[in-house]
Amino acid sequence: MNWLDSHCHINDKAFKDDLDDVLQNMADNDVRKAMLISSYIDDYEYGFSISHPEIELKHSLGIYPGDVDDVSEELFEEFARRFREDRCQAIGEIGLDYYWDKHNKQRQIEIFKRQLLLAKELNKPIIVHSRDAIQDTYDLMKQIRVEGVMHCYSNSAEMAREFVKLGYYISISGTITWKNAREPLEVVKAVPLNRLLIETDCPYLTPAPNRGKRNEPAYVVYTGRKICEVLGIDEEDFKKQLNENYHRLFRL
């Protein structure tokens, strides 16, 4: 079994100068699968040009909550057309963010709800971003039931259990390796293994011992090994479970 990164942005400009090295680092560290997340159509299309013989890349597209003010009806329909493509494995990342954007909550809810309804219609999983908006996120996801994952989960263990009850997966980022990472540790202990995923969200949220550097998919290994340490489980067994979860969620 190999490691995987369930959420990365290697089509970001942060990787434009050394993408081949980043891909080789993945292979060298036994990270052989990744979900490439796009919030812009140009990035989504560019993602299909990225390849490595030892790595399986899949692709997701969604309207990020921070961008909703710029989304015309015409642009929404362009996204929707691509959601319908077989090569679009999931719809995301989508959701709500009241940390950065407090002025347009209703617009965020509107666009999130429309994407949830499309995901339900197309029977595709969603990848959900939620920051300082967990109750509104939960209420919408309970109202419109689709499969999906809570990306880079950063809320309470109690709330994580509620999302699991709705059928969602919980994805853990490199923050679990940071000092004073009390809440992520509690979440990992609370969530069943068959509902856990790991991610980098690179180029963000670099795990220890590489904090201060740009994050990249190879570093997902630190997150995975930290979870094994916390739960006292065998690394190979955990990798096997991660692969099962990833394939089940994204229907691979």
- Count how many domains the chain has: 1
101: pLDDT strictly greater than 90: no
Q: For 10-25, what is the mean pLDDT?
A: 96
pLDDT value of position 176: 97
Region of poorest pLDDT, from 92-101, 138-147, 156-165: 92-101
Q: For 146-154, what is the mean pLDDT?
A: 97
Exposed e or buried b per residue across 223-243, where buried means at least 16 C-beta atoms within 10 angstroms of its C-beta: bbbbbbeeeeeeeeebbebbb
Q: What is the mean pLDDT of the chain?
A: 97
pLDDT value of position 102: 84
pTM, whole model, 2 decimals? Answer: 0.96
Q: Give 186-201 pLDDT, tens digit per residue.
A: 999 999 999 999 999 9
What's 28's domain CATH number?
3.20.20.140
Q: How far, in whole angstroms, is CA 12 from its chain's centroid? A: 15
Q: Give 237-246 pLDDT, tens digit per residue.
A: 999 999 999 9
Torsion sign across C-alpha atoms 199, 202, 205, 207: positive
- Domain span at residue 137 reads 3-250
pLDDT value of position 117: 98
Read off the pLDDT band of 100 (50, 70, 90): confident
* Pairing outcome for strands 196-198 and 126-131: unpaired
Q: Give 33-47 pLDDT, tens digit per residue.
A: 999 999 999 999 999
180: pLDDT strictly greater than 90: no
